[in-house]
Structures are given as structure tokens and as C-alpha cells.
Amino acid sequence: MKKRLREMEEEAAKLKDIQEQSSAELSGVPAAAGGAAGPAAAAAAASATTDADARSIYVGSVDYSATPEELQAHFADCGTVNRVTILCNKFTGHPKGYAYIEFADEDGVKNATILNDSMFKDRQIKVVPKRSNVPGMSAEAMYMRGRGRGRGRGSFRGGYRGSGYRGGYRGGYGGPQRWAPY
């Protein structure tokens, strides 16, 4: 029984080592000696993402019939293209009309922005450097921060409907009828 338990523990240790090695290979960060990668791996992954964003451009007004090969050929003079991503609707699978292109170096981004307002498949495309998303700056958060939630014109109580819950100008809240209307 003890022999079988020892074999199982050794097998679990081997599996853990293999898993750490494979996760290190996938993330491109060397594995920590004896445990999970931790904050260092997260920081390295974040810097890799911002590096890729610095080498990428946004292309708007892309024709719906465009292929990644055609976009790569259009931007081939700007520099070496690593990746072309045409975003599609997840429900229908149809293209959304914009794409992201990642170059091998940042000079490709500078050269590609010169092609802003150029013609691609009889459409004028928009080319700008890709921006990185900032956590916490969603559209809802910006709406709530910019507009506020105060009691001004249009609020239910104290606004244009009158000062009371049921009365005031224009009658306010109708509520249940207390008499039969003829």
C-alpha cells in the first residue's frame, strides 16, 4: 500500500513539472523555480500585449469581401506583416468591416498611417495606430461618470411632472383607478 502511494506521489510530481514547462512554453516566460509563475508572468504578458499593440494598426471601412491576403498585399510596402485579423460577427460570421494588422516592427505602423484615406477595393479606408484598452474605461463607466445621476430636469420626482408622487402638472403617475369611468 505504501509503495503504491509513493508511486502516485511521484507521478503527480512529474505531471506538475510537465504542466509548468508547457505553460512556460505557451506564455514565452521561463517557469518559476518551484511554483506558479505569479505577478512576474502577468507583467510579462501585459508588456507583450502592449508591445504588439504598438506594432499594430486599425483599418476601418474595409470591404466585406476583403480577405487577409488582399490586405497583406495592400500593406506589404509598409513593412513585414505578422498577422492580419478581420473581425467577424460571432452570430452570423459576416465581417464587421474593420481589421487589425500587426507588423514586425514599429516602423511599419508609421509607414502604414501614410495610407490613411487610400482606396482599397473601391472604398476609402481609415488607417490609424491601434490603441490599447485601458481597464475600467468602458462605455458604461464613461457614461455614468460624465452624465451623473442627479435630480434635474426630467427626473421622476420633483421634475416636470410636479412635486408629488401622484399629482402635479399633467397628472403624474396614473396608478389604479378608484372609480368606474362611466
CA angle (64, 66, 70) in 5-degree steps? 165
Residue spans of the domains in the chain: they are 1-39, 55-130
**With left for phi above 0 and alpha for psi between -120 and 50, is residue 116 left, alpha or beta?**
beta
Q: Which residues lie closer than 8 Å to 122 by C-beta, 6 or more apart?
A: 63
Segment among 11-20, 37-46, 74-83, 97-106 with least mean pLDDT:
37-46
Class of domain 55-130: alpha beta
Of residues 15 and 156, the one with the higher pLDDT is 15
Residue 35, pLDDT score: 47
Q: How many residues does this entry show for the chain?
A: 182
Whether the model pTM is above 0.75: no
Q: Helix, strand, or coil here: 99?
A: strand
What mean pLDDT, rounded, does the chain reach?
A: 79
**Is residue 156 within 8 Å of 150, Cβ to Cβ?**
no
